Chain A
Amino acid sequence: MIHSLFIINNTGDVFMEKHWKSVIHKSICDYFFEAQTKAGSAEDVPPIIATPHHYLINIYRNQLYYVAVVTTEVPPLFVIEFLHRVVDIFEDYFQGCGESILKEYYVIVYELLDEMLDNGFPLAMESNILKELIKPPNFLRTITDTITGKTTGVGATLPTGQLSNVPWRRTGVKYTNNEAYFDVIEEIDAIIDKSGSTVIAEVQGYIDCLVKLSGMPDLTLTFINPRLLDDISFHPCIRFKRWESEKVLSFVPPDGNFRLLSYHIGANNMVAIPVYLKHNIFYREGTAGRFDVSVLAKSTMGKTVENLVLECPFPKSVLNVTLTPNQGKYSFDPTTKVMSWDVGRLDPTKTPNIKGTINLQTGCPVPESNPTISLQFTISTLALSGIKVNRLDMYGEKYKPFKGVKYITKAGKFQIRT
């Protein structure tokens, strides 16, 4: 299974290593650096690298590479999922996961890694169990520790949830205010071609929850139109049989923040495109080229499109752009050649537009093709697919919880070819 883990920063410094079996010298990372040099950008490093005796499986998150070393035939997805989970847990513990933060909580990081794997097998990966074993650092604790002179961050009793049928939930949870919030988030991934027609559009949806309920609540959640959800991935807490037979989500929730389920509404269903672009972009040799783009609302179901940002990556041969937006601000990064226009709110009475000139570097040929523009935006109180929660019921506990459901649509990978 997983033999060792190295954490490497952007400058190629192996600043943390952990071995669950014998020690593998960090010179093994040279193979990784080799692959990194070959890759065009930080994201392009292949996730699996073969070396003569080991395999390096890595992920790239928050400007850090997490490189796991395996020596036997293991499912690579297992390792990749594990690494992502490790980062999730770090983020949960330290409210961030940069290099400086990891260094700051070095010992806790090390203790966590030690608790997560045993002999390369995952041991405790549930955040609630880990928190009972190793207390997360927080301001309050630091103060109480200093006052009482007690500095142990390690729990001395066996975590309760570890072996129950519901390992994701600890026992004895108590809140004065019992509340449960459900966010239905839909991300629209789309490719729109030059002429404005949709090449592909699909929705990636999630239900993220914040549940603060005392005791062992047993929840059921129903939808008005469950039929929409045919491609769905569940958190382990959901009872699959109930869903299969009755299309009811029945579960004992974990405590705190978690993702209840994710779903996918494929390209074979019709997905409405909320916004589109009108564009006129061309380059000219010697003189300035032209850039003229307007954003228009299409099917927003009467809701407002907010936080609209347009990004346009130009080819290397572009020197700079001189543009005038009629709304918001734009910036151009001369090293990455990315133009970013922060449009803000899409006012239905006004069409945001940006236009101006593109200047090529002297002597460079005209680029082959126009850039692909990507959009970011959010639309609150709307789930694009039309999915709607019907009701939430709680069994097993006596109190009356406060419940809330919120819908948000966001742009995922929303790309427009020009």
Chain B
Amino acid sequence: MTDSKYFTTTKKGEIFELKAELNSDKKEKKKEAVKKVIASMTVGKDVSALFPDVVNCMQTDNLELKKLVYLYLMNYAKSQPDMAIMAVNTFVKDCEDSNPLIRALAVRTMGCIRVDKITEYLCEPLRKCLKDEDPYVRKTAAVCVAKLHDINAQLVEDQGFLDLLRDLLSDSNPMVVANAVAAISEIMDASPNAASALEMNSVTINKLLTALNECTEWGQVFILDSISNYTPKDDREAQSICERVTPRLAHANAAVVLSAVKVVMKLMEMLDTSGDYVTSLVKKLAPPLVTLLSAEPEIQYVALRNINLIVQKRSDILKNEMKVFFVKYNDPIYVKLEKLDIMIRLTSQSNIAQVLAELKEYATEVDVDFVRKSVRAIGRCAIKVEPAAERCVSTLLDLIQTKVNYVVQEAIVVIKDIFRKYPNKYESIIATLCENLDTLDEPEARASMIWIIGEYAERIDNADELLESFLEGFQDENTQVQLQLLTAIVKLFLKRPTDTQELVQQVLSLSTQDSDNPDLRDRGYIYWRLLSTDPAAAKEVVLAEKPLISEETDLIEPTLLDELICHISSLASVYHKPPNAFVEGRGGQRRVLPVKSQSEGTTEEPAAPAPVSQPAPQPTVIPGADSLIGDLLDIDLGPGPSMMQQQMYPAQQAAPIQPAGNTGGMDIFGEGLDNLLGGGSSGGDMLGGLGDIFGMPQSQSYIPPQEVWLPATKGKGLEITGTFARKSNQINMELTFTNKAMQPMSGFAIQFNKNSFGLMPAQVLNIRTPLPPNQSASTSLPLNTTGPVQKMEPLTLLQIAIKNNIDVFYMSTQVSLHVLFTEDGEMDKKVFLKTWKDIPAQNEVQYTINNVQHNADTVSQKLRNNNIFTIAKRNVEGQDMLYQSLKLTNGIWVLAELKIQPSNPSFVLSLKARAVDVYEAIKTVYENILHN
């Protein structure tokens, strides 16, 4: 007797037949009919017409029949809401049944009926079930709260179910605790209100840790994930949590293992890195990670993606386990590619020989993607491990000899990088490369080859012929290739001016007159102008010595890495993106690693930006699309302003000019200059001085003078002064670090506490290190407002933690609110009027600002520079009335009315907004700006 017979009915009158059977008197027949209905339902047939008949079968003692009917209800209640009401009574009754299985089943099914009308009836039975004597019912009820929250969040919060759920965290039964945790984390993800109500503290964490040992493996995952969201108050608590979590590393369930790894990785940040305990933890982490790699390929894949993060954060954990990442020929391709990535990360001088032998093996495999990546990996090895570079190059040459088209192309791309890392070392192989010129058909390979020819034009006798051959099809080339070709020919011209004049003219005219691509045109014009005005300068710029490329190119940016470490085992860790970047409906809650109690030397600083005296002309790097404009700016403006800076600010000579991607899109020939200087990261406090030189009007926004945030006495010799500024749509924190101690300082890092406006650093702190004694360094730290939000008292309070090699320091300051006024704060007149009327009168507050020495127009201009926009101006009985609007980064609009009487230095400011909390801070801003 099998179930496949339920699928055989395909007759037309099926529904009628079923209807008759459902209403049959015989129990058996009824049940068979319900089974048929369910079978049809599961294959997607519409059997909703039978709703009343099926619901009629619900009142039965037969558990199987009851279950089947419940299944049906869950599926179709939504499409038949009115009918579903009919079922409510049975549910309420079943919730009081003497059999706990039936009570649980009823509460479970109720939550799955996603009909608004029913949810109200659900509350009472659910409340009862949450306090049921049987743990099985309680644990089912806990999940039901999450279901209900999904349907009607407001109802759950109003009815106090969150508190009941919280109470379940202390339940005597670990399974109930686990389900409560699961429900809570789902609710917290969905609703920020609930998140604050369900915040974990050390007491609840303790309860969870107790339940951890006894609940099911799935419950352990929920609990571990919850624990990972909690930040212990000190390192002792962190260590004790670690101690209780580490046994989970030996669990058979891979999800439990990885969640435990997450907790340990996160809490390790708080512990003394040099201590024995951390050393023992690091030892404990390797075996479980290796074990995951012998599981099913799907598990391996997720594990590998996570290991990729872990080795970037703490390379020491797996440094001796290189071999487990060697590729088996029948691994699925997605596993192979990930293994390869990790092999490169773990490559060091001690294991390079093995790795290289493996990579060479892989390069002869069948799968094209894998082979390409292997060839690239050989190049990365060469760049990473200097002593092995020569062997890598000869391996690459061997591969080029195979003449397999895609292998050759990949090899040329990586050889270009090798040249950039070790100039004047392997140029002897250029001849071999040139032999393969004709076979290159991929833009990246062509561009790389052209770069090589341009860079070493003086050693290639027929460089001009080679480049000329590329020039023939110039119009059809990819932009990348065109740009390279332009630069290469200009280089060639500068090196061999006599016989290449024609060629350079040809390429310049091709790229300026015949091209539609603005990047190409701009670059062409710049070269043209350079060459025609001052060839010597052109030589200096174009042929300048280039900075060596850094070791590892694809490292994840450190702040993102830290965030991802907090998301180990989640989808975010698989995609290497923060969850709010791809999971829908996820609030702005971003996780940050807890502040370390001691500095740590494993994360190397990214390659230092080129010093000012040696501007980096970037056209020689194959540019990604977004850095193209940055390149141009660099060539054109790099030397100019930097020289000026040196003369004017000898003390600040180290202030780096970064190849600024963020200044992209500006008009480089026009007034963009001041923007560049102001908006770049070259230190904000020199702005005024440069402005004077260029005779610019002081149209910049108000920057309060720097204040001492951390006195040297509290900072163990480190003094920090700072202020906030808004420049070209970007909030910056201007910081000056002064070392008043006797020893140099290094390893600076910064972190913010949660604050009212979600301010957080947009980049890592970029400051010259080490900072020698009695010197100071300034930096401008761009901020964004995507961080976690928590209302502070006062509103503008910002708590900051600064770390250096000596200690971690905490300081607090008040953000001058004007930096949070956005550029789009200008309200339409009509909207302004309407909003003004809409906001209740009790929200209006008046302040008097004394002793202002400006007239209405200057005031209006000054405010406008700070994104306070004057919408209208009226003259009433000799008084000037200015109506103004502004918008905060978090979307709060504030309306203002400024009353100015001529010859009276006291202005009257009336503010109106829906959020009255911001008034004080706004008044302060007005005062500061008007008194400035």
Q: Mark B817-835, 1 if CB is under 8 A from A, else 0.
A: 0000000000000000000
Quick check: A77 and B324 within 8 Å, CB to CB? Answer: no
Quick check: A125 and B216 within 8 Å, CB to CB? Answer: yes
SS class, residues of chain A in contact with chain B: mixed
Quick check: B571 and A106 within 8 Å, CB to CB? Answer: no
Q: Decide yes or no: A152 and B189 within 8 Å by CB, A77-B255, A80-B299, A413-B330 being known contacts.
A: no
Q: Is B374 an interface residue, CB under 8 A from the partner? A: no
Q: Decide yes or no: A163 and B179 within 8 Å by CB, A104-B4, A158-B100 being known contacts.
A: no
Partner of B3, one of A44, A72, A107: A107
Q: Is A372 an interface residue, CB under 8 A from the partner? A: yes
Neighbouring A residues of B175 by C-beta, 8 Å: 162-163, 167
Quick check: B364 and A368 within 8 Å, CB to CB? Answer: yes
Quick check: B6 and A121 within 8 Å, CB to CB? Answer: no
Which of B37-45, B551-559, B686-694 forms contacts with chain A?
B37-45
Partner of A59, one of B7, B298, B567: B298
Q: A231 vs B257: C-alpha distance in the bound complex, in angstroms? A: 13
Q: Is A208 an interface residue, CB under 8 A from the partner? A: no
Quick check: B108 and A118 within 8 Å, CB to CB? Answer: yes
Q: Is A18 an interface residue, CB under 8 A from the partner? A: yes
Neighbouring A residues of B39 by C-beta, 8 Å: 106-107
Interface members, chain A 387-418 (any B CB < 8 Å): 413, 415, 417
Which of B484-492, B575-583, B713-721, B864-872 forms contacts with chain A?
B575-583
Q: Is A246 an interface residue, CB under 8 A from the partner? A: no
Closest approach, in angstroms, between the C-beta of B286 and any C-beta of chain A?
8
Q: Is A15 an interface residue, CB under 8 A from the partner? A: yes
Closest approach, in angstroms, between the C-beta of A101 and any C-beta of chain B?
9
Quick check: B365 and A110 within 8 Å, CB to CB? Answer: no
Q: Decide yes or no: A111 and B67 within 8 Å by CB, A191-B326, A233-B291, A368-B404 being known contacts.
A: yes
Neighbouring B residues of A16 by C-beta, 8 Å: 42-43
Q: Is A255 an interface residue, CB under 8 A from the partner? A: no
Quick check: B1 and A105 within 8 Å, CB to CB? Answer: no
Partner of B358, one of A19, A84, A155, A199: A199
Quick check: A72 and B67 within 8 Å, CB to CB? Answer: no
Q: Mark B476-499, 1 if CB is under 8 A from A, else 0.
A: 000000000000000000000000
Neighbouring B residues of A264 by C-beta, 8 Å: 287, 290-291, 294
Q: A74 vs B298: C-alpha distance in the bound complex, in angstroms? A: 15
Q: Is A157 an interface residue, CB under 8 A from the partner? A: yes
Q: A199 vs B351: C-alpha distance in the bound complex, in angstroms? A: 12
Quick check: A77 and B569 within 8 Å, CB to CB? Answer: yes
Q: Is A267 an interface residue, CB under 8 A from the partner? A: yes
Quick check: A17 and B44 within 8 Å, CB to CB? Answer: yes
Q: Mark A84-105, 1 if CB is under 8 A from B, else 0.
A: 1000000000000000000111
Neighbouring A residues of B146 by C-beta, 8 Å: 119
Neighbouring B residues of A153 by C-beta, 8 Å: 64
Neighbouring A residues of B545 by C-beta, 8 Å: none
Q: Decide yes or no: A231 and B297 within 8 Å by CB, A73-B572, A75-B255, A81-B253 being known contacts.
A: no
Interface members, chain B 29-68 (any A CB < 8 Å): 31, 35, 38-39, 42-44, 62-64, 67
Neighbouring B residues of A72 by C-beta, 8 Å: 186, 189, 583, 585-586
Please indicate which of the listed interface residues A77, A119, A231, A233 has the most CB atoms of chain B within 10 Å of its own CB. A77
Quick check: A75 and B361 within 8 Å, CB to CB? Answer: no
Quick check: A110 and B329 within 8 Å, CB to CB? Answer: no
Interface members, chain B 11-42 (any A CB < 8 Å): 28, 31, 35, 38-39, 42
Quick check: A369 and B1 within 8 Å, CB to CB? Answer: no
Partner of A158, one of B78, B136, B301: B136
Closest approach, in angstroms, between the C-beta of B135 and any C-beta of chain A?
5
Closest approach, in angstroms, between the C-beta of A287 and any C-beta of chain B?
22
Q: Is A55 an interface residue, CB under 8 A from the partner? A: yes
Whose C-beta in chain B lies nearest to the C-beta of A82?
B218
Q: Is B233 an interface residue, CB under 8 A from the partner? A: no
Q: Mark A17-30, 1 if CB is under 8 A from B, else 0.
A: 11111110010000
Quick check: B584 and A154 within 8 Å, CB to CB? Answer: no
Quick check: A40 and B367 within 8 Å, CB to CB? Answer: yes
Whose C-beta in chain A lies nearest to the C-beta of B62?
A152
Whose C-beta in chain B lies nearest to the C-beta of A107?
B3
Neighbouring B residues of A20 by C-beta, 8 Å: 112
Closest approach, in angstroms, between the C-beta of B681 and any C-beta of chain A?
33
Quick check: B101 and A47 within 8 Å, CB to CB? Answer: no
Partner of B252, one of A77, A165, A259: A259
Q: Mark B177-218, 1 if CB is under 8 A from A, else 0.
A: 001001100100100000000000000000000000010111
Q: Is B296 an interface residue, CB under 8 A from the partner? A: yes
Interface size class of B (residues with CB under 8 A): 35 or more
Quick check: A118 and B301 within 8 Å, CB to CB? Answer: no
Q: Is A223 an interface residue, CB under 8 A from the partner? A: no
Q: Decide yes or no: A46 and B334 within 8 Å by CB, A119-B112, A119-B143, A230-B287 being known contacts.
A: yes
Q: Is B842 an interface residue, CB under 8 A from the partner? A: no
Closest approach, in angstroms, between the C-beta of B395 and any C-beta of chain A?
15
Partner of A163, one of B136, B324, B358, B569: B136
Q: Decide yes or no: A23 and B7 within 8 Å by CB, A53-B584, A73-B586, A80-B254 being known contacts.
A: no
Closest approach, in angstroms, between the C-beta of A243 and any C-beta of chain B?
8
Neighbouring A residues of B297 by C-beta, 8 Å: 43, 47
Q: Decide yes or no: A47 and B301 within 8 Å by CB, A22-B78, A75-B259, A368-B402 being known contacts.
A: yes
Interface members, chain A 238-264 (any B CB < 8 Å): 240-241, 244, 259, 261-262, 264
Q: A76 vs B575: C-alpha distance in the bound complex, in angstroms? A: 11
Q: Is A142 an interface residue, CB under 8 A from the partner? A: yes
Q: Decide yes or no: A266 and B330 within 8 Å by CB, A103-B7, A104-B4, A122-B216 being known contacts.
A: no
Quick check: B100 and A107 within 8 Å, CB to CB? Answer: no
Q: Is A280 an interface residue, CB under 8 A from the partner? A: no
Whose C-beta in chain A lies nearest to the C-beta of B217?
A236
Q: Decide yes or no: A118 and B140 within 8 Å by CB, A22-B78, A76-B571, A146-B1 being known contacts.
A: yes
Quick check: A106 and B7 within 8 Å, CB to CB? Answer: yes
Q: Is A200 an interface residue, CB under 8 A from the partner? A: yes
Q: Is B288 an interface residue, CB under 8 A from the partner? A: yes
Q: Is B94 an interface residue, CB under 8 A from the partner? A: no
Q: Is B447 an interface residue, CB under 8 A from the partner? A: no
Q: Is B570 an interface residue, CB under 8 A from the partner? A: yes
Neighbouring A residues of B358 by C-beta, 8 Å: 199
Q: Is B302 an interface residue, CB under 8 A from the partner? A: yes
Neighbouring A residues of B31 by C-beta, 8 Å: 151
Q: Is B574 an interface residue, CB under 8 A from the partner? A: yes
Quick check: A44 and B216 within 8 Å, CB to CB? Answer: no
Neighbouring B residues of A1 by C-beta, 8 Å: 182, 186
Q: Is A275 an interface residue, CB under 8 A from the partner? A: no
Neighbouring A residues of B575 by C-beta, 8 Å: 50
Neighbouring B residues of A70 by C-beta, 8 Å: 571
Q: Is B2 an interface residue, CB under 8 A from the partner? A: yes
8 closest A-B pairs by beta carbon, nearest first, are A231-B287, A369-B364, A154-B64, A47-B298, A122-B218, A267-B323, A77-B255, A78-B255
A-B contact pairs, 30 of them (CB 8 A): A40-B367, A44-B333, A46-B301, A59-B296, A73-B579, A75-B221, A75-B571, A77-B302, A106-B39, A107-B3, A107-B38, A122-B216, A122-B218, A125-B216, A151-B28, A162-B175, A165-B214, A191-B328, A199-B323, A199-B326, A202-B294, A204-B294, A234-B252, A240-B250, A266-B287, A268-B320, A268-B321, A368-B404, A372-B329, A374-B329
Chain B residues with a Cβ under 8 A of chain A = 1-4, 6-7, 28, 31, 35, 38-39, 42-44, 62-64, 67, 71, 75, 78, 99-101, 108, 111-112, 114, 134-136, 140, 143-144, 146-147, 150, 173, 175, 179, 182-183, 186, 189, 214, 216-218, 221-222, 225, 247, 250-255, 257-259, 287-288, 290-291, 294, 296-299, 301-303, 320-321, 323-324, 326, 328-330, 332-334, 354, 357-358, 361, 364-367, 402, 404, 567, 569-572, 574-575, 579, 582-586
| New contact pairs (20) apart from A81-B254, A145-B1, A264-B291, CB-CB < 8 Å | A47-B302, A77-B254, A103-B4, A105-B3, A107-B6, A107-B39, A119-B111, A122-B216, A151-B1, A152-B62, A158-B134, A162-B175, A163-B136, A230-B287, A232-B287, A233-B251, A267-B321, A368-B404, A372-B329, A413-B330
